[in-house]
Structure 1
Amino acid sequence: MAPVAVSPTTITKFITTFKTSVVSPQPNTLHDVITQAVDRYPSHELGFITSSAHDSSIQTKTFSAFNQCVRNLARAMLDWGKPTGSVVIVYLTEHEDNMAAVWACLLAGYVPCLQPALSAQQAHKEGHVGHIKNLFGSATWLTNELGAEQISTISGLEVHLLSELKASAETLTVSADWVAYKAKPDDEAILFLTSGSTGFSKAVVHTHRTILAACRAKGESYGLTSESQVLNWVGFDHVAGSLEMHITPLLFGASQLHVHASAILADPLRLLRLIDEKSIELAFAPNFLLSKLTRDLEKHADVFGHFDLSSIKRINSGGEAVVSRTAQAFASMMKQFSKNPSAVSFVISAGFGMTETCAGCIYDPIDVLATEPVHEFLDLGRPINGCEMRIVDPVDGSTLRHDGESGELQVRGPMLFVRYYNNADATSSSFVGGGWYRTGDIGIIESGVMRLSGRIKDTVIVHGVSYGIPELETHLQTVEGVTYSFLAAAPYRASGQETEGFIIFYSPTFDLDAVDASTKLFATHKALRDICVRMITLPPQFVVPIPVNQMEKTTLGKLSRAHLISLFKQGQLAKHIARAEELLSEARGVSFVAPSTETEKALANIFAGIFNLAISEVSASDNFFEIGGTSIDAIRLKREGEEYFGLPDISTIQILKHPVLSSLANYIDSLLSKGTQTEEYDPIVPLQLSGKKTPIFFVHPGIGEVLIFVNLAKYFHNERPFYAFRARGFDTGHPFFTSMDEMVSCYAAAIKKTQATGPYAIAGYSYGGVVAFEVAKRLEAMGDEVKFVGLINIPPHIAPRMTEIDWTSGMLHLSSFLGLVSKHDADDLAPPLRPLTRQEQLEFVWKMSPPERIVELQLTLEKLDKWVDLAGSLIDCGLDYNPSGSVSALEVFYAIPFAGTKADWLNNQLKPWSGFSRGEASYTDVPGEHHTLMDLEHVPEFQKIFRSRLEARGL
């Protein structure tokens, strides 16, 4: 056979690779890793897409340039005068900033501790920061301007800004191999904070040795080479983002692309474009994001077959169990988008790992389309090189379980952490003889392959986020009808469920055979559910009442969650569940009204489709929002109702005003008989009517609409009524307000009509804040008590801002608020759009708007045009506004402003509200930006903060 010709370049490359792999020593420290990467692959790249990127532009640095950058930063750090080995808390948001900070700390001889996003709740944030300061015996923080603002109220911290450190580093140029301290393998390298879901965080200590042992084994498992391209969109403060998706590929010389998660969540097609354009081989995505991506990508069938996805070989997944059908659906979706489906053959590798194990240490790489998964959840597979696993009796922690039997999962190996920082008790209790680490998970090993079957730990993981069960139980214990100390909440994952859930077991204080048992049980279960939704955004899958004489406790007087779950799975609690369902059905039957008219039956069918119910389960007395409806669900109801009844328009606001099925049916019947009619203007839209506490009235922002409050109102279910003000002028025949005084008089009268006497609670979002302030003043002038006035991200002096808003900027501001254009585009588009006609400007924005968002909002160009005019009328009302007088007390909530720093926004713009409050004004930090703080992403945290301030005012 004739020899194959090989080019000189190929021969040289082969010899170089052979020599470096055989002759060069293996890295012993992380310092060696970056030095080796630069020496061997100086032109390989690190790429970054930030949270503020509005296109697919990638900022890149070669390994060589990055190395020079971080060594200069490290040299600049020495000016802090900290001793070698000092802990530096790194609190940054972007991947590149975090990465640079960590490497700079390492090269300067410091120990970086990665800090995840701090809580928006002031007390929790201060408690955590104080705990960290005590834990390390020091408090050196490296952060950005926003991070510095978040911790500015906490004394005793030494805060350094990354921007200032960069400025200092730009004046320096050290050698490419400069280090301030030559590390040793067993030196502390990086600290990671645990979630703190069951109390304050522990700091996990990883050394150079443990990290390198993990990274070598991971890279071998993934099949990484210097030619690999890796994509990561997990936060760098997570071990998966920093160790698994950065240091591991760097050890093997692989190029990397780090993308802020928001960039892909906002545009899931971007993931496919990046795989195509950058020939991505390895990526990471937890189960809940695989599920979300699959759902989002389904909407883009128009670009099926559009991308070259042949490069992707493996997607690692961790954080929570991976549902087999979710993995299959995602893989199948990827094939549909591929130009060459037969070339798409990649594995979704479910993995097990923890902060303590340097992320994943057990994997099961499986092509889910070629090999049918055996179980409902993907197996977790076999350990990486050097790692061992075993299943033991969870009681004694050492007796081995047989193949196929469940028990406590334990692991050991060189990738295990060495200790919890300054916490010897927690360290010793985490290990048993032989160096085995107790993971706290229940697993099964069968034929060498491991899968999890439950949890021992006191957490429930919802969409990858850990929530503390003890804290949840503490609040559930307060519900009337629950026997104190006889309640347990236990993690549970039902068949086919995409994320982990939980079950509540409790003993009722009342006799389940009593005459009024059904009424009391119904009220108790509703209260338990409401608390769960408020605290962890998810209702329980089951609530099981067990008579107190049948609820077993341990010899230590505790309820065993594991035992209760075991009884549940074995069907031994079936009689209690059946009795509860019987009583609840009886209670529901009292209020159940079968839909009778054709309109009611048609709406019942639509309700059933939206909420995945049987039509027989839908009552004519059902309230759309009380049974789970969101603002998006309301738009779907509107759309399906219009299609079924042949109506040109069913106003979303009328759905909000008629949320009960029978009432909505009557409204639709009136439209069918009379056509669209102008109703008398009522500024108040009731978004939630249940509960006995003082109602809350919310004033609209500058766009005049109230849909933005729908998701917030749900959290007040069964607690207090929630009313929202909607500006006048949306409906035909209703003129716009012409002055602030006219608007305030209208709203004050509407409050008195709805709630005759005080005390009152009123709040306003953005522009609505000054309106709420004026309404509160008017009510006090009428002799009423106003105990709560909440102002959300608005300063008292709005007139200067109002005068800056012309028609173009007002239209763009509204479009940004509605999600038609990004905030970045809204800022940039004003100058080039102003020379165009009004119609041309509208059409330009219309073409930029996401079609699905236009459908969601049921917008037309004409409606958008009128909406801009309405918003403009509200601006006109505020042109001459000059605050005066005062109210009893003010609650000011502040988020990231439209422009400038948060500190400047708080101190110079918002603090003047103190001059209009007779009592001490309160200023509370809330998550999100000005235009996103009411979004689904932030509203769960916002509602907790807001409700806590209501309660602090005695409401």
Structure 2
Amino acid sequence: MAPIALAPTTNTRFVTKLKTSIVSPQPNTLHDVLAHAVERHPLHELGFITSSAHDSSIQTKTFSEFNQYVRNLARAMLEWGKPTGSVVVVYLTEHEDNMAAVWACLLAGYVPCLQPALSAQQAHKEAHVAHIKNLFGSAIWLTSEIGAEQISSISGLDSHLLSELKASAEKFNVAANWIAYEPKPDDEAILFLTSGSTGFSKAVVHTHRTILAACRAKGQSYGLTSESRIMNWVGFDHVAGSLEMHVTPLLFGASQLHVHASAILADPLRFFRLIDEKSIELAFAPNFLLSKLTRDLEKRTDFYGSFDLSSVRQINSGGEAVVSKTAQAFAAMMKKFSKNSVSFVISPGFGMTETCAGCIYNPADVLATEPAHEFLDLGRPINGCEMRVVDPQDGVTLRPDGESGELQVRGPMLFVRYYNNAEATSSSFVEGGWYRTGDIGIIEKGVMRLSGRIKDTLIVHGVSYGIPELETHLQTPEGVTHSFLTAAPYRAPGQETEAFIIFYSPTFDLNGPDASTKLFATHRALRDISVKMITLPPQVIIPIPVDQMEKTTLGKLSRAHLLNLFKQGQLAKHIARAEELISQARGVSFVAPSTETEKALAKIYAGIFNLADGDISASDNFFEIGGTSIDAIRLKRESEECFGVPDVSAIQILKRPVLSSLANYINTLVSRGTEAEEYDPIVPLQLSGKKTPIFFVHPGIGEVLIFVNLAKYFQNERPFYAFRARGFDAGHPYFTSMDEMASCYAAAIKKTQATGPYAIAGYSYGGVVAFEVAKRLEAMGDEVKFVGLINIPPDIAPRMNEIDWTSGMLHLSAFLGLVAKHDADDLAPPLRPLPKQEQLEFVWKMAPPERIVELQLTIEKLDKWVDLAGSLIDCGLDYSPSGSVSAVDVFYAIPFAGTKTDWLNNSLKPWSGYSRGEATYTDVPGEHHTLMDLEHVPQFQKIFRARLEARGV
């Protein structure tokens, strides 16, 4: 029966259609997929664990409930009055929201385009959004309040809030088979954006036909049935999350659980718990997650035999090559943690956005059959897909079996074109419909494996980085000959993720008298830039004299040629010379550990950094050789075990990161026990570099560990000091006023850095303290060039007066990750009537045991910490800002409550009244309590450094 067209009424501008309840036996469109799933399995479930979920609580909707929900959303979308076929840019973070938005767009006759997280750098973000606007013309943006804030600075966008759409949808209750448009198989269905790592993103066009061809073949490959249960944690904006792990199982009627990645990464055991609780058969885990789970859980022998993992049949892995040993270690660990016997395959796969994710798979029982290569083979194509390896120069001449060449694929799952980019589309294909993947592969006896990359990208933990941009920054250090540097992706034997090598020509003679000093400085600068750009140091840095560095006829360095020379050992003499010079430079400062305590600590350092004991010098600084805040906690714990002392203070580790100094402190603990030391508010987190030091004031919790991950980005650039509140250690009283605290900190700065110019910043509560300290320094006649205020208004007294002991305790607990932020907000009213001890015990029971161990907390320490934080609140109760400083730089993130725009305009902009120069206001990623987390600090440090440099410090 044909769909029935309804005549439009006077207050509608669209045509709706009703499908009969009879659906075709074989879905031809995505609409059919949803209709089939609802008709045949109405009570099967879609489950979701959000990014804010503190525990493993799962929000569920049956297929039937979800179907009604998205059709009502689709009907509400029509109120926008947009023509059929309009592109809707979906910019959301949670799986359920993304999923609902995509289905609603499809049912309303629109084409969804899934937008990954936008760059935190304003210029990059605005350029990308402008590109998308130009690409799609009048595209609509559907986003959350947070997303709307991120794009608020770009004019001319037609944006809508999902929350408002949901509210609008509540007035509708359409039929369970309502649609606004009957699509054809070759209509555009969903658009996916490429990473844009080598330029602006391209929009990959997939039709209903290409998506269904891929999903049907994938499901057959996995052996999916309606009784299968899958678990996905990949973001929905990625083809693997939306197509491979949602549309594919939906096509087969399988129940699904979608978990926000942060929930797994924060608690690796949750991966096993969910498999146990939900009887998961199919899951997805890229190589870096397999490695992380194995590494994080290797010592959790107390959980051996704790989970029923017998339901697992297959774990897919993609995004980067899977290390064979990693896969074997993970599989062995799964067996140890399971209370029942397990039998499953790890299935590495190859796929791209252009192929609807995986199209080549290799299900492997890595414990039963020894892998043939260092990385697991990628296997054979799914039904309908073909692959071949050709000469990359002409793109058509077949390579013999076992020889490497350019990997090409073709089949019905291939995208049809790049949206509004005919040139890119045509250049991606060769005669016969073969798609050029840009990867170097080997096909041997019908099985494919990758051996390299053609494209200018580097994949670290599944994230793509553009090599050209990295190379541009690597050209800047003194010692690098301009245009004689290149970086190439490389994975060393046994390495868990892709790394890279830097090839360059030095400006100085490698045989000159000062070559060791110059080479050491140059290589240190290259490492620093790499860490700041992509959070990863180079695997190897190879200096090649300029007269031996070959260029092409076009004047370019050939990455492929240099990489081949390296692999063949033809650059060994250059590597050996570099190692000799570096060893000479290091030998000047290397001090062999001499005492038993130093030797024991050297062993601990070496274990943390996976180095040989003999590589550790007594002069090594823990943080300069790569230590993080998490590593510091491990150092504390292992030192206590090694030396038999009850408490190696984490703050003393921060103050004494040099091995010999820490050894002296531990010797004191062993001989005399813990003694109260004179209070020193300054904790040096990083001491190298010649630029103006930066002083950071603690947030309202008073501690400084939160700055450790930020401080490492300033290595060899500028010293980084942090202020720690008074009162943590026995015998030290709390501060009693803002004046006392600011005066104490100003005096400490003068003691550390006698003369200006000064640079000072404060995070949250610390912002107003930093402002007061800067005023005092200026009053002494000193120049303060930079005052950074991070997410705090000048008038804090109203907020301080709202915080009682209970809310303060919950705020601290949320900041420390003991409870979720939304729990902290909800728990205050019911907890407030209880005695303080009962409140503490309640929160203590909620806290993740792993987090308590990580922080080395006891309930007594938490109680004292709450009191100290309360003393800081008391200091701010009657604080009233006054006076001014030369200039302020305000950094703003998502506030505790309200919108970012209101927060900026109503709460933060008043800082301009306390700045004699022009105040700046800079958007930074994350929320108030997460902007210093490992997830956001790589972007924050770039933004923060740019403002420091803009102020001339």
CA distance in 2, matches of 1:848, 1:40: 40
Deviations 1:45-88 (A, max 9, x none): 22222222233332222222222222222222122121221111
Partner of 2:806: 808
Asked if 1:91 is matched to 2:91, the reply is yes
Q: Cα 1:125–1:380, aligned 2, differ >3 Å: closer, same or farther?
A: same
How far apart are residue 674 of structure 1 and its match? 4.1
Q: Cα 1:36–1:428, aligned 2, differ >3 Å: closer, same or farther?
A: same
1:642-657 correspondence runs (5 A):
642-657=640-655
CA distance in 2, matches of 1:669, 1:61: 60
Determine helix, strand or coil for the equivalent of 1:490.
strand
Q: Cα 1:841–1:105, aligned 2, differ >3 Å: closer, same or farther?
A: closer
Determine helix, strand or coil for the equivalent of 1:954.
coil
CA distance in 1, matches of 2:441, 2:566: 18
1:157-556 correspondence runs (5 A):
157-341=157-341, 344-556=342-554
CA distance in 1, matches of 2:599, 2:36: 71
Partner of 2:916: 918
Determine helix, strand or coil for the equivalent of 2:179.
coil
Asked if 1:48 is matched to 2:48, the reply is yes
Q: Cα 1:56–1:484, aligned 2, differ >3 Å: closer, same or farther?
A: same
Partner of 2:751: 753
Q: Cα 1:185–1:912, aligned 2, differ >3 Å: closer, same or farther?
A: same
CA distance in 2, matches of 1:858, 1:172: 53
CA distance in 2, matches of 1:670, 1:56: 45
Question: Which amino acid counterpart does residue 520 of structure 1 have in structure 2?
Answer: K
Question: Which amino acid counterpart does residue 372 of structure 2 have in structure 1?
Answer: V
Structure 2 unaligned runs (5+)?
A: 1-21
CA distance in 2, matches of 1:25, 1:845: 54
Deviations 1:787-837 (A, max 9, x none): 211111111111111112222222222222222333233333333333333
Deviations 1:321-350 (A, max 9, x none): 111122122222222222212xx1111110
Question: Of the candidates 774, 777, 782, which is equivalent to residue 775 of structure 2?
Answer: 777
Question: Which amino acid counterpart does residue 314 of structure 1 have in structure 2?
Answer: Q
Question: Of the candidates 740, 743, 748, which is equivalent to residue 742 of structure 1?
Answer: 740
Question: Of the candidates 865, 868, 871, which is equivalent to residue 870 of structure 1?
Answer: 868
Deviations 1:104-153 (A, max 9, x none): 11122211100011111111111110110011112310111111111111
Contact kept in structure 1, 2:597 and 2:663, CA below 8 Å: yes
TM normalised by structure 1 equals: 0.95
Question: Which amino acid counterpart does residue 465 of structure 1 have in structure 2?
Answer: V
Contact kept in structure 1, 2:630 and 2:854, CA below 8 Å: yes
Contact kept in structure 1, 2:736 and 2:875, CA below 8 Å: yes
Determine helix, strand or coil for the equivalent of 2:375.
coil
Question: Which amino acid counterpart does residue 340 of structure 1 have in structure 2?
Answer: N
How far apart are residue 741 of structure 1 and its match? 0.6
Determine helix, strand or coil for the equivalent of 2:878.
coil
Structure 1 unaligned runs (5+)?
A: 1-21
Question: Of the candidates 678, 683, 686, which is equivalent to residue 684 of structure 2?
Answer: 686
Question: Which amino acid counterpart does residue 132 of structure 2 have in structure 1?
Answer: I
Contact kept in structure 2, 1:139 and 1:156, CA below 8 Å: no
How far apart are residue 44 of structure 1 and its match? 2.4
How far apart are residue 618 of structure 1 and its match? 1.6
How far apart are residue 680 of structure 1 and its match? 2.2
Determine helix, strand or coil for the equivalent of 2:79.
helix
How far apart are residue 395 of structure 1 and its match? 1.7
CA distance in 1, matches of 2:48, 2:180: 28
Contact kept in structure 1, 2:795 and 2:880, CA below 8 Å: yes
Deviations 1:236-288 (A, max 9, x none): 11001111111111222222222222222233333323222322221112111
How far apart are residue 613 of structure 1 and its match? 2.0
Question: Which amino acid counterpart does residue 103 of structure 1 have in structure 2?
Answer: W
How far apart are residue 951 of structure 1 and its match? 1.5
CA distance in 2, matches of 1:166, 1:340: 44
Contact kept in structure 1, 2:323 and 2:374, CA below 8 Å: yes
Asked if 1:834 is matched to 2:835, the reply is no
Q: Cα 1:479–1:644, aligned 2, differ >3 Å: closer, same or farther?
A: same
How far apart are residue 858 of structure 1 and its match? 2.8
CA distance in 2, matches of 1:349, 1:142: 35
CA distance in 2, matches of 1:758, 1:238: 49
CA distance in 1, matches of 2:381, 2:268: 32
How far apart are residue 672 of structure 1 and its match? 4.1
How far apart are residue 25 of structure 1 and its match? 4.1
CA distance in 2, matches of 1:64, 1:843: 42
Asked if 1:81 is matched to 2:81, the reply is yes
Q: Cα 1:648–1:67, aligned 2, differ >3 Å: closer, same or farther?
A: closer
How far apart are residue 851 of structure 1 and its match? 3.4
Partner of 1:142: 142
Q: Cα 1:720–1:148, aligned 2, differ >3 Å: closer, same or farther?
A: same
Question: Of the candidates 691, 707, 710, which is equivalent to residue 709 of structure 1?
Answer: 707
Question: Which amino acid counterpart does residue 498 of structure 2 have in structure 1?
Answer: E
CA distance in 1, matches of 2:67, 2:824: 37
1:117-156 correspondence runs (5 A):
117-156=117-156
Q: Cα 1:76–1:335, aligned 2, differ >3 Å: closer, same or farther?
A: same
How far apart are residue 425 of structure 1 and its match? 1.6
Determine helix, strand or coil for the equivalent of 2:178.
coil
Question: Which amino acid counterpart does residue 888 of structure 2 have in structure 1?
Answer: L
Deviations 1:534-582 (A, max 9, x none): 1111100100011111111111111111111111111111111011101
CA distance in 2, matches of 1:587, 1:657: 26
Partner of 2:12: none
Question: Which amino acid counterpart does residue 474 of structure 2 have in structure 1?
Answer: L
1:482-631 correspondence runs (5 A):
482-631=480-629
Contact kept in structure 2, 1:788 and 1:950, CA below 8 Å: yes
Q: Cα 1:880–1:82, aligned 2, differ >3 Å: closer, same or farther?
A: same
Question: Of the candidates 877, 880, 883, which is equivalent to residue 878 of structure 2?
Answer: 880
Q: Cα 1:910–1:517, aligned 2, differ >3 Å: closer, same or farther?
A: same
Question: Which amino acid counterpart does residue 348 of structure 1 have in structure 2?
Answer: I
CA distance in 1, matches of 2:103, 2:834: 50
CA RMSD for the aligned pairs?
A: 1.8
1:818-857 correspondence runs (5 A):
818-857=816-855
How far apart are residue 424 of structure 1 and its match? 1.6
Q: Cα 1:528–1:857, aligned 2, differ >3 Å: closer, same or farther?
A: same
How far apart are residue 651 of structure 1 and its match? 2.1
CA distance in 2, matches of 1:799, 1:212: 59
Relative to structure 2, which stretch is displaced further, 857-866 or 802-811?
Answer: 857-866
Determine helix, strand or coil for the equivalent of 1:210.
helix
Determine helix, strand or coil for the equivalent of 1:496.
coil
Deviations 1:294-332 (A, max 9, x none): 233335433332332222211111000111122122222
Partner of 2:760: 762
Contact kept in structure 1, 2:24 and 2:32, CA below 8 Å: no
Q: Cα 1:550–1:104, aligned 2, differ >3 Å: closer, same or farther?
A: same
CA distance in 1, matches of 2:64, 2:849: 43
CA distance in 1, matches of 2:526, 2:158: 43
Determine helix, strand or coil for the equivalent of 1:502.
strand
How far apart are residue 458 of structure 1 and its match? 0.8
Q: Cα 1:266–1:602, aligned 2, differ >3 Å: closer, same or farther?
A: closer
Determine helix, strand or coil for the equivalent of 1:625.
coil
How far apart are residue 354 of structure 1 and its match? 0.2
Question: Which amino acid counterpart does residue 879 of structure 1 have in structure 2?
Answer: L
Aligned residues: 932
CA distance in 1, matches of 2:676, 2:52: 44
How far apart are residue 923 of structure 1 and its match? 1.8
Calculate percent identity across the aligned residue pairs: 87
How far apart are residue 42 of structure 1 and its match? 2.6
Partner of 2:940: 942
